[in-house]
Structure 1
Amino acid sequence: MKKIILFLFIAYNLFANNYIINLRINNIYKNKGNIYLKIFNSKKSYKRDIPLKQFILSSDNNEISKKITLPNNYYLFSVFQDINNNKKLDKNFLGIPKEPVGLSNYNGKGIPGGFDKLKIYIDKNSTIEIKLKKI
């Protein structure tokens, strides 16, 4: 009986603070290369490009949705569409992306900023919308 109670306690604590995020990515060039999604949970991981989670999604529509389960914390969502299918984000000599990109908390104007400016706090089930833009 004690083992069952311990198991239930551990299971509850593992899943109690997880939330379902419906990430909607729009302004996609339909059937023009995969969509790369990276989720970062710290300034350090973002700076080093070491995502907590990452996904490769199909561009079979102008808008796609992805359900993601995350515990409460700050996150930065980074998305790009790999138009030429070379599995990386192409940039010009100044480091400006040549392919459509989207970031959480970024309106597409000016320099995006770092983790602290772009992060979103997850503490409930919610929908996050990211619009891809060519900069």
Structure 2
Amino acid sequence: MTVKVSALVSTSSTVKLYFYNTRAGFLKSGKWAFSKSVKPEGKREITLPVDLPKGEWAVAITQDMNNNDKVDKNFLCIPTEPYAFSNNIRPTVAAPDFNECKFRVDGPGQVVSIVLKD
């Protein structure tokens, strides 16, 4: 499958993708199935081929604007760096649930498009 992330805020800051396949671990540090880091190399959009086993998956994405290798947050624990979730879920009060962000992988050729929120 392919993950396509558009509307990148920076054309040079690292984009980090966190892939989850369980509800219990969703958005918990270190509980992702795997992660990938990609440099946009001057582009506002990245396309990343990913080999995901069949099943339910969700993706959380951040762009590390200051390259400190973490998601910076304000005093309310709201990210201050660009972020996004699969299904383009836009949380307003609380972090989204796995079920809101999940998508089903059934075979090759699938594309998941996500727009980054700054």
Q: Same fold (TM over 0.5)?
A: yes
TM-score (norm 1): 0.77
Gapped regions of structure 1 (runs ≥ 5):
1-20
Q: Could you tell which deviates more after superposition, 59-68 or 102-111?
A: 102-111
Greater RCO structure (CA 8 Å; 6+ sep): 2
Asked whether the 8 Å contact 1:23–1:65 carries over to 2, the reply is: yes
Which deviations, in whole Å up to 9, do the C-alpha atoms of 1:106-134 show, x marking residues without a partner? 34352452111111111133100011002
Asked whether the 8 Å contact 2:89–2:100 carries over to 1, the reply is: no
Look at both structures and tell me which one has the larger radius of gyration over its CA atoms. Answer: 1
CA distance in 2, matches of 1:24, 1:102: 12
Gapped regions of structure 2 (runs ≥ 5):
none
Identify the structure with the greater helix proportion.
1
Which letter does structure 1 place at the counterpart of 2:64? Answer: D
Q: Does 1:108 align with 2:90?
A: yes
CA root-mean-square deviation: 1.5
Asked whether the 8 Å contact 1:46–1:115 carries over to 2, the reply is: yes
Cα 1:73/1:113, change in 2 over 3 Å: same
CA distance in 1, matches of 2:65, 2:90: 19
Asked whether the 8 Å contact 1:29–1:59 carries over to 2, the reply is: no
TM-score (norm 2): 0.88
Which deviations, in whole Å up to 9, do the C-alpha atoms of 1:11-67 show, x marking residues without a partner? xxxxxxxxxx11001111233410011100001221533111111100221001000
Which letter does structure 2 place at the counterpart of 1:38? Answer: Y
Which letter does structure 1 place at the counterpart of 2:67? Answer: N
Which one of the candidate residues 80, 87, 91 is aligned to 1:98?
80
Partner of 2:55: 73
Percentage identity across aligned positions? Answer: 25
Q: Does 1:58 align with 2:39?
A: yes
